[in-house]
Structure 1
């Protein structure tokens, strides 16, 4: 067995059904290299998968750790995070895994997607064209930093597209938690200037830099691991598509980055968290323009008063 194979771990959670979305988001936040949700209906007739008890879902995720000690620490950290998020967890298992056929199988399901009226995102192995007057973004994000198909990315992309279409100037954009830089690239291609993307995960930025190169945008977007409260200046549009508890944590650094009269887009928020985030961000000079929803996810558009 190679050392590389020994570094992979399979994590399995059995949780109450209501906590599925938040649990999956947590696994991605911990840099999962793939997350599968097994519900009672989908796998009812599959005899190769153990039945999922009523009222629960099973989440299966894959991670790579350098040592067993790192895997053990991850298990403790994940247990703590699940508790902090009030996710009822019936079981959590983390064990070495050697079958990596899943690692490329996901590519069968990544197809080009129109995520806003003027932006289409797809992988390099698919042949697709940009919409009229719009842009084509090619992305191969590895496994953990986003392909543009998630509802929160689409919500932000749609709002960003509209804001840029309505603005004859070239508004500045700050993409907080930029991940694979999809929103940053859309902003740049649709006329924003300058565009800055920040993410605390250095590996995410490596993926983002590779995506910029593939799309002939290398050097056109400034990427860094600068914390939001250390970013200099203000921006006409600030996007923060992150999990709700992180939005709350960075609130004091996020709000001052929005220029007077500027727009703040907040997503990564479930319907159940909508009012908590509204209470936290509306006021203190910020007014709610709209709150759109896809599935169970919402996106706020807030404007900073002049």
Structure 2
């Protein structure tokens, strides 16, 4: 194509490599990355015009990652190409998630969430996000979705929004990534049809040491990586109210025992483990000696 200025990589990415690969691609100038929700769950990385793509040989640092296709296309095809691979889908018993370009509302008996697909975490399309939303549904059904609630590493804020729509109150969402601030604001704007002027959560960019994260919180959400969860567990225990719940995810199933032991050693008694694909989410309760 004479005017082909954009580039899209289609990738095969084993689950354990996804987070590290995302970080590498972002550092190499990728403007967006996401994984298909449906099989074969290929991953797509996009590079903007006039951006020199990284050397594909760099993918060799990520075991099992394969570049399946590199496609260049012009401005007139950008919108169509960026929308491929992300369709509407249901999550749990209550939610329907659709991309912003899909104007067809979901089923009347489901909460119709609108997202802007981009990074893998934060659109509802990743297994860990879906597992967390399903556990939030269970907490709501049992009357345990009470605030205040802290969403640690919130990304776009989709879990906080879901918690609010299920009846949660006193929500605070934060992330260390400055780009997540605008992303959280955008998610609220996209779902104005559900919020009717309500502010679903407070948000900030920062760390768990921020004054707004001081607690005590009746509930904690942590859909991040196990290593990060382990690093933050001492502080999470400090800001959690006795008897408070924790939903921890971003954990590979092969690390289940390690995750359960880490939680228990910091005063979080595991209640339930749910699994989808190679990922798990854990519901635990803060206990005191």
Normalising by structure 2, report the TM-score: 0.76
Q: Aligned pairs, how many?
A: 273
Q: CA 1:157–1:108 in structure 2 vs 1: closer, same or farther (change >3 Å)?
A: same
Alpha-carbon shift at residue 123 of structure 1 (Å): 2.2
Q: Distance in 2 between matches of 1:242 and 1:113?
A: 22
State the secondary structure of the residue aligned to 1:174. strand
Query: How far apart are 1:303 and its partner, in Å?
Result: 0.6
Q: Measure the CA separation in 2 of the matches of 1:66 and 1:234.
A: 48
2:81 corresponding residue in structure 1: 105
Deviation per residue, 1:167-212 (Å, 9 max, x gap): 1774322111111221111111111111111111121221221110
- Whether 1:296 aligns to 2:272 is no
8 Å Cα contact 2:17/2:63 also seen in 1: no
Change (3 A) 1:211 1:259: same
Question: Which consecutive residues of structure 1, in runs of 5 or more, have no partner in the other structure?
Answer: 43-57
- When structure 1 is superposed on structure 2, of 20-29 and 103-112 the one drifting more is 103-112
Partners of 2:35 and 2:43 within 8 A in 1: yes
- 1:34 deviation in Å? 2.6
* Contact 1:120–1:131, Cα closer than 8 Å, also in 2: no
SS in 1 for 2:219: strand
Q: Deviations over 1:87-131 (max 9, x none)?
A: 537999xx9x77675664352433332212122221232312355
Aligned to 1:247: 229
Give CA deviations for 1:31-73 in whole Å, capped at 9, x if unaligned: 4513579xxxx8xxxxxxxxxxxxxxx97633569987x969x
Structure-2 change in CA distance of 1:193 and 1:207 (3 Å)? same
Aligned partners of 2:35, 2:137: CA distance in 1, in Å?
31
Structure 1 segment 213-232 matched on structure 2, within 5 A? 213-216=189-192, 217=195, 219-230=199-210, 231-232=213-214
CA contact (8 A) 1:146 1:180 kept: yes
TM-score (norm 1): 0.72
